[in-house]
């Protein structure tokens, strides 16, 4: 008869998320994951199959708890520039008010892109999915602005890619200079 789990899986994933976010996938050891989650190696493997399985769950939780709330501004109002402005203002406020140790972690998905993306198809796909999600929100907002006559329709795609690049740039900058990242997000 199988034993019931005596721990909260979501809390274990949340604890592992903090380690992966701070140290990166490759630099995170199983010992650090054991320490952070309070689980032994056997429990980690029985529950998540592998370090990679735990990392995949951490990315999913990150999308739910960090990314989705930030993207919530795109669900308000009629799509338009107001949503884009609110998104960047929210990003700037986070960069300006979060403790530097937290801000210096940057974005788990951007970090994953630079660490694993060039040689890891699964990680690259997770990053591409995030970029597609953000691209979709930005596109809807700018298409709304074009319908309202605020932007020329023919410039929407190019502007979306510029904004997407700006977001990624702000999140990379946050790792080395949180104050500069806050200023960039306000620009």
pLDDT tens per residue across span 152-181 = 999 999 999 999 999 999 888 888 887 887
**Rounded mean pLDDT of 23-45?**
96
Residue among 159, 133, 151 at smallest CA distance from 60? 133
User: What are the tens digits of pLDDT across the range 96-126?
Assistant: 888 888 888 989 999 999 999 899 999 999 9
Check whether 3 has a pLDDT greater than 60: no
Domain boundaries, given as residue ranges, for the chain: 9-186
Looking at every residue in the chain, the average pLDDT score rounds to: 91
pLDDT at 176: 86
pTM exceeds 0.85, yes or no: yes
Check whether 44 has a pLDDT greater than 70: yes
pLDDT at 49: 95
Residue among 88, 101, 93 at smallest CA distance from 175? 101
pLDDT at 148: 95
Check whether 2 has a pLDDT greater than 60: no
Check whether 45 has a pLDDT greater than 90: yes
pLDDT at 5: 58
**Rounded mean pLDDT of 37-60?**
95
Percent of the chain whose pLDDT exceeds 70: 96
Cα–Cα distance between 98 and 107 in angstroms, integer?
A: 13
Burial class (CB in 10 A: 0-12, 13-18, 19+), 99: exposed
CATH of domain 9-186: 1.10.357.10
């Amino acid at each position: 008869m199988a034993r019931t789990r005596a721990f909260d899986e979501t809390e274990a994933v949340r604890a592992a998320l903090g380690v992966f976010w701070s140290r990166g996938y490759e630099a995170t050891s199983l010992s650090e994951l054991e320490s952070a989650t309070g689980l032994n190696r056997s429990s980690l493997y029985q529950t998540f199959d592998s370090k990679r399985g735990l990392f995949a769950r951490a990315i999913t939780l990150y999308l739910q708890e960090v990314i989705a709330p930030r993207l919530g501004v795109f669900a308000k109002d009629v799509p338009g520039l107001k949503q884009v402005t609110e998104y960047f203002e929210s990003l700037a406020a986070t960069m300006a008010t979060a403790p530097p140790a937290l801000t210096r972690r940057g974005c788990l998905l951007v970090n994953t892109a630079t660490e694993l993306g060039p040689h890891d198809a699964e990680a690259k796909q997770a990053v591409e999915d995030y970029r597609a999600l953000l691209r979709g929100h930005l596109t809807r907002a700018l298409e709304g602005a074009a319908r309202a006559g605020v932007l020329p329709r023919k410039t929407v795609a190019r502007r979306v890619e510029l904004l997407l690049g700006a977001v990624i740039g702000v999140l990379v900058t946050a790792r080395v200079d949180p104050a500069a990242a806050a200023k960039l997000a306000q620009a």
